[in-house]
Structure 1
């Protein structure tokens, strides 16, 4: 009974209601594990206490639920108090967020503009690179063309294509071989009188001598001057003949050169076109320099003679090319002077023979060059003859043209004066077209030459279709019909006048 009486003191929650605090509640609230432990201890001590334990635990749970309800009420009150400042802080945060969003939008727009500018610059750079690539491709194509042009080797002869040095040498030779102008009679007389005047005046210088001779020339009579003048005239005639012949030859050669240039140009064009066709079909390879087969080969040295003899034996032993070269080189190094001497003697003989053959080859080449020069000289003679024939033909044609012009002028002068009343022939369709177009062209292009205007008119007329020309043809036909009617009337008048004149003559008779 004593144990049962003491139980309310252990599990009584009533006195704890006055002092409500979180710390006190925490101390008094026991977990389920702790309650189980207390129950176990009480059950061990006394069975009566164990029977009353569930009631105590239930009372404790009620106390905990009450404390929780009070806590919730307090929390609600606090929340209602804190709601007002929380709303104001939320509005501030919203404003800040909106400002940040606006800033982000501005930054986004700026970045988009920067990206657009970058894209434009990249596009420009890409275009520049593309243009550079195109230019490089064009340059490559031009280079290929130039390389092909280098490979083009024409077979046309250019007898007149002299180099600058040759032209200068030719000018010098012409100056040396050119005929001198004849000296006048005064100079010829001076040459004869110089020594006599010098003997008379040995101390006189050149200026004094020239003055003395000039005064003496004034005293010379016409009869004394006559032989010098005759000599000068004869020399002058001979000089003029030579100069005239040279001029004629030069003109003839110029004509011949022009004709030859035209022919060579046509031949070159044909050859170049053939070359281009062949180049399109095949990739032209660089042709090696053609060696003269008649030129003697250079002799082998002593080492090469030895290596050629030794090679046959080493090849029989199945040695490689590199191995053969190494073995022959080592053997040649290890050989004595006595062992090398027969090969050196053979090399010397070959060298002497090569020198003889080269001398003969050079002589042959010199003879060939001399023959070529002779052939060129003969060719030049033939060309000069052909040139002279061309010149003669040209002169004949010029004389014929002159004669025809003179005869035409005479005929025009001899022609009777035409009747002013006779109707004139009408202009052709082309002439009518040219008159109208000439006016239009003069307005469109003021200051142009008549020759250019006439050329433009003829081009327009050629380019015109038959339908367009029909307008001008119809105008010309109408004018022709009017002309025919006027001619008939004029002829009738002339016949009537002639008959009247004849009748008058008969009356007078």
Structure 2
């Protein structure tokens, strides 16, 4: 009797993870301020019931958004700078929150979430990429990228290849030209290091995957 093959588990139909919310944009911050002002003004005008309970009038959010859009377009430079600072502060805080959240994820959490995201991409419902496990071994650099890394870390080599070139795209072109011009002997150290790093990565990856499957 042939051994029956187990069907692959179906990906989850929804995500069970709750990552931190991304930092709001300048417009979102401004609109939130305008909405809060409108709420406060409406509440002050509505007053309260005879029993003292505040009355919460219904707001015309669409009109508030329209008026806010006009006001946002004519913000002073000082106010623009204020919201720009708030945006940057929000981004910094988001990165901290994201790192803290990612540190709580288990390999199984990441595996399940990535299966969900892959299915969402396949169905055309999302373009989100997979989560990266911070504990997973990092893929090694190729021989060429080891060479590129060496350029950045060695002042003499950097001057020899790039001279005073500061434009990133042009630097890439110059580095590629230099790499193609290297002899086999000159490339050998990079190729050997790349192969060594690859073997170490494969060994670490197997340990990582075995631990995740345990």
TM-score after normalising by structure 2? 0.37
Larger radius of gyration, structure 1 or 2?
1
Q: Which has the higher contact order (CA 8 A, sep 6+)?
A: 2
TM-score after normalising by structure 1? 0.17
